[in-house]
């Protein structure tokens, strides 16, 4: 929760990948708050018991939302889907405005990679969600210490560069430092 809060303010893309990882971690622990408490909360360095309680309550609320929203096995919480929606809206606005030439250039540079991913991936995903799904898949492969082809690594590098621009410009827009209207 403390990491999520910090990431949400500083880098929305890292925040979303972190939240997807939290969803999977909760699933791996069987959506059981006692297991989460034992494996995560009890070992987390907090300043005091009030922070530990806040962390416990956060995980418990995520578990409740996962059950309510029926994403116990797969899928994402609505709060995470809302981030994708916000980023998609920003992305469309940024492209349309033309106010960020480097952003537009990088997007059109990676568009062929996105189209290749689209042919292999889940249909119906937006370009932004497809990029997140790809990067999360790479992250998962790395945690499993699986081999990643040089071509896939190159794709990951290029998409990551785009996501850095997305996060940076989104933050500037949200802070009122970037006018796209």
Q: For residue range 76-85, what is the model confidence (pLDDT) as tens digits?
A: 999 999 999 9
Per the CB < 8 A criterion, the answer to whether 147 and 31 are in contact is no
The pLDDT score that the predictor gives to residue 181 is 78
Q: Are residues 63 and 86 in the same domain?
A: no
The pLDDT score that the predictor gives to residue 146 is 95
The answer to whether residue 109 is domain-embedded is yes
Q: At what angle do helices 101-120 and 78-97 cross, to 10 degrees?
A: 130
From residue 24, how far is each of 41, 64, 90 by CA, in Å? 16, 14, 27
Element (H, E) at 178: none
Q: Are residues 108 and 145 in the same domain?
A: yes
DSSP state for residue 40 in the 8-state scheme: I
Which residue among 49, 68, 87 closes a domain? 68
**Backbone torsions φ then ψ of 94, nearest 5 degrees:** -65, -45
Q: Are residues 60 and 90 in the same domain?
A: no
- Sign of the C-alpha dihedral computed for residues 58, 129, 166 and 151 taken in this order: positive
Which residue among 33, 68, 103 closes a domain? 68
The answer to whether residue 10 is domain-embedded is yes
**Host domain of residue 143:** 78-174
The pLDDT score that the predictor gives to residue 1 is 82
Per the CB < 8 A criterion, the answer to whether 9 and 170 are in contact is no
The pLDDT score that the predictor gives to residue 120 is 87
The answer to whether residue 87 is domain-embedded is yes
**Residue 125 and residue 132: Cα distance in Å, rounded?**
10
Low-confidence ranges of the chain (pLDDT < 70): none
Which residue among 68, 86, 110 closes a domain? 68
Per the CB < 8 A criterion, the answer to whether 51 and 173 are in contact is no
pTM exceeding 0.85? yes
The answer to whether residue 37 is domain-embedded is yes
Of 13, 36, 34, the closest CA to residue 23 belongs to 36
């Amino acid at each position: 929760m403390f990491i999520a809060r910090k990431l949400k303010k500083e880098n929305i893309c890292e925040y979303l990948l972190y939240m997807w990882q939290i969803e999977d971690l909760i699933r791996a622990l069987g959506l059981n708050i006692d297991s989460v408490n034992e494996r995560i909360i009890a070992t987390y360095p907090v300043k005091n018991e009030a922070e530990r309680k806040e962390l416990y309550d956060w995980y418990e609320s995520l578990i409740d939302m996962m059950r309510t929203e029926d994403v116990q096995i797969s899928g994402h919480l609505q709060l995470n889907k809302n981030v994708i929606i916000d980023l998609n809206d920003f992305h469309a606005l940024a492209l349309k405005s033309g106010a960020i030439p480097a952003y537009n250039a990088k997007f059109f540079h990676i568009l062929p990679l996105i189209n290749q991913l689209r042919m292999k991936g889940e249909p119906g995903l937006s370009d932004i969600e497809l990029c997140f799904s790809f990067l999360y898949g790479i992250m998962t492969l790395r945690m499993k210490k699986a081999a990643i082809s040089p071509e896939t690594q190159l794709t990951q590098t290029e998409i990551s560069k785009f996501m850095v621009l997305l996060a940076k410009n989104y933050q500037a827009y949200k802070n009122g430092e970037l006018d796209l209207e």
